Amino acid sequence: MSASVEPVPLPAPPLRQRRWVPVLVLAAVMIGIVSGGYVTSDALGKAGGETVAVSSSVTVTALPGWELAGRFTDPIGVRLSKGSASLDVASLPFTGSSEGLLAAYVQNVLEPGAEQFRVSETVEGVVLNSGQFGARITYVGLFGDVQAPIEGEVTAVVTPDGLGVIFDGWAPSGQLQYAIDDIHTMIQGAEIT
């Protein structure tokens, strides 16, 4: 056997075949960019599923992925978070309608801390799984030191016993749409006694 045999170079693949390779690679990279965040977030682990007591009369069941991010006292409430989305649930004594509670929350809590604040013109009615009626509006604005604009949705429920419950779901603008189904499910399932 002679060692001087030159290796025969392989012929280049047909042009049509080579044209597919970069396209498939590019498509794969784009799929990775678009879905990678969700996959990574899931890989980092899911939490939640537990029932969180907001006050002695209000409990909310956090869906998988939602975590108790904090509690506040004036009024009594909790913050549930998933990624950049949050749901604040507060409980307070209130005599009046759900629309009245909604207006009070907007005027006393949201507006004072916001710039370029805008609220939806129509108030939507909602019914919780427990049969209680509530009112809902959406808003956008800039809040505090957070540079990104925030969009949110407030749902107010007032029981005949004079208990008011506020559900304020919010996220940086453009991201609420990805959490809104979870937020609605948690509000629908809230127990108010």
13 binds other proteins (CB under 8 A): no
Q: Do residues 136 and 125 make contact, with C-beta atoms less than 8 angstroms apart?
A: yes
Q: Which residues make Cβ contacts (< 8 Å) with residue 188, sequence separation at least 6?
A: 128, 129
Minimum distance of other proteins from residue 168's CB (angstroms):
14
Q: How far apart are CA 48 and CA 50, in angstroms?
A: 5
Q: Do residues 137 and 102 make contact, with C-beta atoms less than 8 angstroms apart?
A: yes
Tell me how many residues contact other proteins (CB under 8 A).
40
36 binds other proteins (CB under 8 A): yes
Q: Which residues make Cβ contacts (< 8 Å) with residue 124, sequence separation at least 6?
A: 135, 136, 137
Closer to other proteins by CB, 5 or 146: give it: 146
Minimum distance of other proteins from residue 145's CB (angstroms):
7
Minimum distance of other proteins from residue 46's CB (angstroms):
10
Q: How far apart are CA 154 and CA 171, in angstroms?
A: 12
138 binds other proteins (CB under 8 A): no
Q: Do residues 78 and 71 make contact, with C-beta atoms less than 8 angstroms apart?
A: yes
115 binds other proteins (CB under 8 A): yes
- Closest to 173 (Cα-Cα) out of 116, 126, 134: 116
CA distances from 123 to 99, 116, 119, 165 (A): 8, 20, 10, 16
Minimum distance of other proteins from residue 23's CB (angstroms):
4
173 binds other proteins (CB under 8 A): yes
**Pick from 57, 123, 175, 180: which binds other proteins (CB under 8 A)?**
175
100 binds other proteins (CB under 8 A): no
**Pick from 23, 74, 122, 131: which binds other proteins (CB under 8 A)?**
23
Both structure tokens of 187: 């509000």
178 binds other proteins (CB under 8 A): yes
Binding site for other proteins (CB under 8 A): 19-20, 22-23, 26-27, 29-30, 33-38, 40-41, 44, 69, 79, 81-84, 86, 115-116, 118, 140, 142, 145-149, 151, 172-175, 178
